[in-house]
Structure 1
Amino acid sequence: MTTTTEQPDATEPHVAENYLPLPVTIAHGEGAWVTDSDGKRYLDMLAAYSAVNFGHRHPDLVAAAEAQLQRITLTSRAFRSDQLEPFANTLAQLCKKELVLPMNTGAEAVETGIKTARAWGYRVKGVAADRARIIVAKGNFHGRTTTIVGFSDDPVARQDFGPFAPGFDAVAYGDVDAVRAAITPDTVAVLIEPVQGEAGVIVPPEGYLRGIRQLCDEHNVLFIADEIQSGLGRCGSTFACDREDVVPDLYLLGKALGGGIVPVSAVVGNRDVLGVIRPGEHGSTFGGNPLAAAIGHRVVQMLHTGRYQERAQLLGEHLEQQLQALIGHGITEVRAVGLWVGIDIDPAIGTGRDIAVRLLERGVLVKDTHGQTIRMAPPLVVRPTELDWAVEQLRLVLDAARG
């Protein structure tokens, strides 16, 4: 056994350091704003990586949670609950699909999608046992289980966590020809993010999603869209795939599906695909629990109105326009889709984390990724004036960093 001489985090000495949080301790939240333990307010421009799409403590979602807390919260899937079918029905309608397999976290949804694709490959497509392969994209982020990090190309995610599961072929993101070249008779699925979030809000070229859909149809391969961050309104449409009028065989959903209150995820597909999973082959004690289903049902009802998708589109255009004006003034590139933006910081003035810390000091919360990039993904309830204020704080931080 080895020991470490590093000093523990003085603020959270008993919390394992699997994260390096920014130096702020949040105690309260409402709408697009949070308050720290000292009473200082911050504009939340991250929304828990899109998990808080509807703002902190949205009254409709809190009411749904409180009502269900007074009834029952957990039965396990050993029994039916009166909340699960209404949730599954509305979510299936939103996705224009037939079946919903509920889980808890995004990574669980991805693992469920992988198992479903392999079972479909063996039981429907006729791939020989243990030969199924899934095409993924380089730069991906689908979670942190050992299977998932095994097909990541991020050394921080992979190092010291092997050996990894076989069966994955990584190709360049945004390149339809690379997907085509990787397809073999043993390929059962193409698993991609319609927009790569953790990579820095990487938006693929026009036609990429349509090209994948066409290839999958031609070669009898499943198209699995990881919409855990991009879906449920974030990109200015219900799903990022809607931007190219593409419907995948399986949607992987999470984050915003729990309304920022409880973890809720789901795999959604038609019976001919998702129906390959048999009783006892996959499950979760908490997946589809009555509390989660009640909250998820209300989330989907809110999305059915289209109001939040429209806000994300209009406010996203407004935010992007404001940020584009800062290119050349400490920013080298801005990538935006809906109310989701990746901002590359000029290395001459600091790292993404440097800028995130300075924004924190000015009351704006963002998060860095991959060294030079910061992401903005505010709750969809944010106001235009609040976005303007956040951009002004960024401008001031950049000006100060440039000297």
Structure 2
Amino acid sequence: IKPLPDKSEKVRVPLRIPIRRLRWALQDGISDDPLPKLLNGQLIVRPLEVLLQAESPVLIVELPGVDVAKVDMTLLLLNMEQKVLQEQTLTTPGRGRNRWRFELARFADTLRHNSSPLLRFDLRLQGLPDAPGETQIPLMRLTQSLMVENITVTPIIQGEQVQVKINWTSARPLQNRFVRFWPLWQPWQAPIYRPIPDDARGEFIVPVDPAQPPLQPIKYRLELGISDPWSPPVRPRRPTFGTQNTLDVALVPPEHRLQILEQESKTHGKTFARTLEYAIIQQELNHQSAYQDALQWCYQHLDRATIPQMLTLVECIKKTGGAYAGRTLKALRLKLFAVQRIKKLLRAYQQEKISHRQFQAYLANMPDAKLLPVKTAILLLDVPDVQIDLPVIQRLIQH
């Protein structure tokens, strides 16, 4: 202790105060970052294969500011049904003060021979101050990839009832699988989802479910996957052509589907949906004249379309290319931003009839702001998007 010559002088002394905050990190030899940088309180997500290939994976848990002699920590390995498959208890820290080390190699056999597609490491704590009883915290989630080969689909069509039999080969059966059907001839439609029973081994006949939308005699992109109940629900995205575990399959030949659409149009009249599907099939068959004629009809009858169907029409016109696409796309974007259609867009978004992704895709087609009707510009002021607001405000100032 040394007296200061000037009592008004400020003295700053560094203090290290431990904050009672649980942090953890995985040391698997992949990251070169030092441990203090790895430690955080966020859920770790890893593919199971990566963890099994690590030499000596260790899960580090740190909890400063507590009496470690009074705290018991147990690492639990759980499957999707929340069943404890294995556990490891540590009553005192391994190395370092207030720091526990869980050797994950001890769980390797259980991890390797479990059929659950999703596994989780949870930490159970006992003896925490101000927290009587047990506290359980998820630390790490492990995912297993569904790897299937030789996917085949056999249509079973009886009258208006459509079923399919799916066959595949897989080295390892997993639980919680699903099949999703993405309609390629009707891309504005939502995919059809069906769970696959856990006891299905290489074959599954998709049942008819009256409570779900039925399969139609059209072309689908079939996707096999695993559902994750521990992740927040999100709208799935259609996988691109050739993605692992997918197969494009037409349940009827395209020429036969065209005949069905033509007959339905003669019997019940043309609809936007039938004509747009007709155009998509004609484009697939490389019948450009019939394709452009159908697109022109859709362009002229845009008021009959839903928001997703309008977006599909935009994508179809883009695919045509050339001068026709340029002229038609420019005119279509002006029609999309007419006052009555922007009202329809905002209403559909507010009522959650379209996703945020579809909402943004529609707005991405905004023409030059100078060409916007003033009433449309006023409506767009309520859209929380800087890329929209700025040109809209400039348009109103100009007006």
Same fold (TM over 0.5): no
Higher relative contact order (CA 8 A, sep 6+): 1
TM-score (norm 2): 0.23
Q: Higher strand share goes to which structure?
A: 2
